[in-house]
Amino acid sequence: MGVLVYVSYTCERYSSRSLQRYSGKVHFCSVSFVVYVTASRIIGGIIVQPYTCKYQGALLAIVPGLSEPKPYCGCTLIAQQWAVSAAHCWRPAMMLVFGEHNLFIDEGYEQYFNVSGIYVHNFNYRTYNNDIMLIKLSKPATINAYVEPARLPGPTNPLEYMDTCTVSGWGVTSLYNPTPSDELRAVDVHLYTDCQYYYWGRVNSNMLCAGYRYGGKDACKGDSGGPLMCNGYLEGIVSWGISCANPYFPGVYTKIRNYVNWIYWVMANDS
């Protein structure tokens, strides 16, 4: 059983991307193949072809007084009974759902899970260092045409900066409209090599930056904890940023490959 650890998700100067209709071209999002289209940011972004982001899940907060759990963060399935999200997305009572496209329609392919255990890795809520949370599901997921784990990177899968990656989620679609998206959306972003320059030294070696120098494409509120996929591998977890899609302020992601050994160790030693 994992140890449930309390972590705060607020920061004085920097914002997380958890939550406190647009009709567009379809964006294909798959571990095995991705078709890139001209895409705007997830803010007003591109609707994903249903069930092609088979690894994508949502965290649902169980809130007293509400009849149904409320979606607020993303997550990624990485093994049949394990998912990964951002540590700042922790809530005292939460569930997970996979096989989801429209969060507010019962489409018949959803798989819901309670939480069996949670592991965090020395998360610092002030700096957002180690913003990663490993979640053990209450039961194994059924792997099928709608649900499939993402692949974790390894030494034979080098990360190339300025690679085009894909970030997905159900976050807000406009800075001026706090309503999250009903349908899963995605956008292509580029990895940055000089992120320290934009964030005054706050970005460390456990973080990645992705976006566009002149803004316009980014994750935002409600996308926290979701996947950044590069070349078919899970390379990042949506973590934080200054507002969303601003010029010279790319999104900041937890660098998954720094934690792969820890992830495998936890999964192997959990009991």
Asked if residue 20 has pLDDT above 70, the reply is no
Supply the pLDDT for residue 88. Answer: 97
The whole-number pLDDT of residue 161 equals 81
Is the pLDDT at 33 greater than 60, yes or no? Answer: no
The C-alpha atoms of residue 26 and residue 228 are separated, in whole angstroms, by: 18
Is 223 catalytic? The answer is no
Residue 29: its pLDDT value, please?
A: 62
DSSP letter assigned to residue 187: E
Choosing from 27, 88, 101, 121, which is the catalytic residue?
A: 88
- What percent of the chain is predicted at pLDDT more than 90? 62
Known catalytic residue: 101?
no
Please tell me the predicted confidence (pLDDT) of residue 9: 30
pLDDT in tens, 116-149: 999 999 999 999 999 999 999 999 999 999 999 9
Distance CA 237, CA 256 (A): 7
Of the listed ranges 58-72, 116-130, 172-186, the least confidently predicted one is 172-186
Question: Is the predicted pLDDT of residue 30 greater than 60, yes or no?
Answer: no
Instruction: Give the residues across from 112 on adjacent strands.
Output: 97
The burial class, CB within 10 Å (0-12 / 13-18 / 19+), for 156 is exposed
SS3 168: strand
pLDDT at 41 over 90: no
**Rounded distance between C-alpha atoms, residue 212 and residue 200, angstroms:** 18
With H, G, I as helix, E, B as strand and everything else as coil, classify residue 169. Answer: strand
The average confidence (pLDDT) of the chain is 84
pLDDT of residue 43: 53
User: Is 182 one of the catalytic residues?
Assistant: no
Torsion sign, CA atoms 38, 44, 45, 51: negative
How sure is the predictor about 215, in pLDDT bands with cuts at 50, 70 and 90? confident
Domain coordinates in residue numbering, the chain: 54-149+259-269
* Model confidence, pTM: 0.85
How many Å apart are CA 202 and CA 208, to the nearest integer? 12
Helix (H, G, I), strand (E, B) or coil at 136: strand
User: What is the arithmetic mean of pLDDT over 46-56?
Assistant: 95
CA distance 90 to 135: 10
Question: Where residue 195 falls among pLDDT bands split at 50, 70, 90?
Answer: confident
Which entry of 15, 85, 181, 224 is annotated as an active-site residue? 224
Is the pLDDT at 239 greater than 70? The verdict is yes
Task: List the catalytic residue out of 15, 18, 30, 131.
Answer: 131
Determine the CATH number of domain 54-149+259-269. Answer: 2.40.10.10
Q: How many CB atoms lie within 10 A of CB 24?
A: 15
